[in-house]
Structures are given as C-alpha cells and as structure tokens.
Amino acid sequence: MSSIRLPRIFVLSPARCDGRRAQALLNPGAEFPLAVQLRQRDGAALGEVFAFLSGLYFRGKLTYARAFASSDVVAAPIRIITTNSGMLTPEDRVGISDVEDFARVDLSTAGDEFQMPLLQDATQLAADAPPNALVVLLGSIATNKYVGPLMRVFGERLVFPRDFVGRGDMSRGGLMLRHAQSGTELAYDAIATAIRHGARPPKLAPLRSR
C-alpha cells in the first residue's frame, strides 16, 4: 500500500451568527478586544470571529485544519463557508455589517443566495487545486445544505472524518482538538458512499493540558 499522503484542503462549515454570542459581539457597548476590533475600519479575521461565535466546535475545526492542511497546494488551503459570500479564508477581514448579513440568510432553505457563491468558489478551488487533492469537509453531513453543492463540484474527492458519525458539535470540536494536539490525523471517508448517521460513540476523555 502506498504511504504517499494526498494533499489536503479543508472546508469548514459556518458558525451561527444570530445567537447570544453574536448579540454580545455586535453590542455597540462591548469592550472586549474582538468586539472592539470588529467595529474598527479593518474589522477582524473571520476565523477569530467564527471561533468566538461557535466556541469549542469551530475552534476545534480551525485548529485541526491548520494542523493538517497542505499549505503548498493552493494559496489558501483552508476555506470557511459563509451564508452569502461563498468560501472565505480564516484571515479574511469582516466587520459588523458582514456578520449581520451572514445572520440574515437562513441556511435551512439553502437558496440561491447561499448556493451560487458557494458553487462559484468551489469551482474555482477545484480548478486551482491538484486533481488528487482531498477536500475535507469539517461540518455536518447529515443534510445536503453544504454537501449537495460541494458534491456537485468535487464528487468522490469530498471526504469527512469517519469519527464524526454519531457525534454532536461539542464532541466533534473536542475530538479535533485532541487530534491536532497529538498530531494524529483522523481517518476520512468519501461522503458519496459514507454512512451519514450512526450510534453515538463513547464520551471523550478530558483533554490533557499542555
């Protein structure tokens, strides 16, 4: 069996932008550093904003992707799905109006406002990436809201972590942090042929502090 590691590109599902954390972040009187930064002209990095909004789950996704992405395959091997602006990088800057616009799009309907920019960016990413690169979706595959558009572009190259099946968001976040910390990459399955639902696995052991 070949030991050659195929290039990895990671696509992260978005954070919820209309919850209590979003209200705290967008509060004009908020004085914590990220809220202040978001109000400034240059805004804040999207990865930091979504990590705040989603907590452990998104922090786990971003930390894991940074640990295992192939930095030499495309200019930005980590892409974050947004509700109305396709896929952005963790370093792209966003402001208050951007977060508010993200919150206005209901992903449960997954209409053209969401799908068209996503398809456009996915198509460009497919053209820029090596033909053997795996596209790893770090997000839910239980519905087709992201999977459908991405499958249309990447087909069997679109994979996900096998151990996500049966886990909730918090468990997935903790799992990814543990693997990033240990330097051990998760195993992936092609979404096209994967079992998308399964029994809940045992609870994770507590994270060891460094």
Q: What is the pLDDT of residue 166?
A: 82
Ordered per-residue pLDDT tens for the chain, 210 residues: 345 789 999 999 999 998 899 999 999 999 999 999 999 999 999 999 999 999 899 999 999 999 999 988 898 999 999 999 999 999 999 999 999 999 999 887 778 999 999 999 999 999 999 999 999 999 988 888 889 999 999 999 999 999 998 889 999 999 999 999 999 999 999 998 876 554 455 555 565 554
CB 192 within 8 A of CB 156: yes
pTM for the model:
0.90
Q: Is residue 124 part of a domain?
A: yes
Q: Is residue 200 part of a domain?
A: no
Pairwise CA distance, residues 148 & 151, whole Å: 5
Q: Is residue 166 part of a domain?
A: yes
Q: Is residue 107 part of a domain?
A: yes
Strand pairing category for 134-138 and 158-161: parallel
Going by C-beta distance under 8 Å and a sequence separation of 6 or more, which residues neighbour residue 38? 25, 26, 44, 49, 94, 95, 96, 99
Q: Is residue 198 part of a domain?
A: no
Q: What is the pLDDT of residue 2?
A: 47
Q: Is residue 66 part of a domain?
A: yes
Neighbours of 112 (CB within 10 A): 9
Pairwise CA distance, residues 1 & 183, whole Å: 22
Q: Is residue 203 part of a domain?
A: no
Q: What is the pLDDT of residue 203?
A: 57
Q: Could you tell me the sign of the dihedral formed by the alpha carbons of 14, 19, 20, 24, in that order?
A: positive
3-state secondary structure of 108: coil
- Our count of domains for the chain comes to 1
Q: Is residue 210 part of a domain?
A: no
> Which residue range(s) make up the domain with 134?
8-193
Q: What is the pLDDT of residue 1?
A: 39
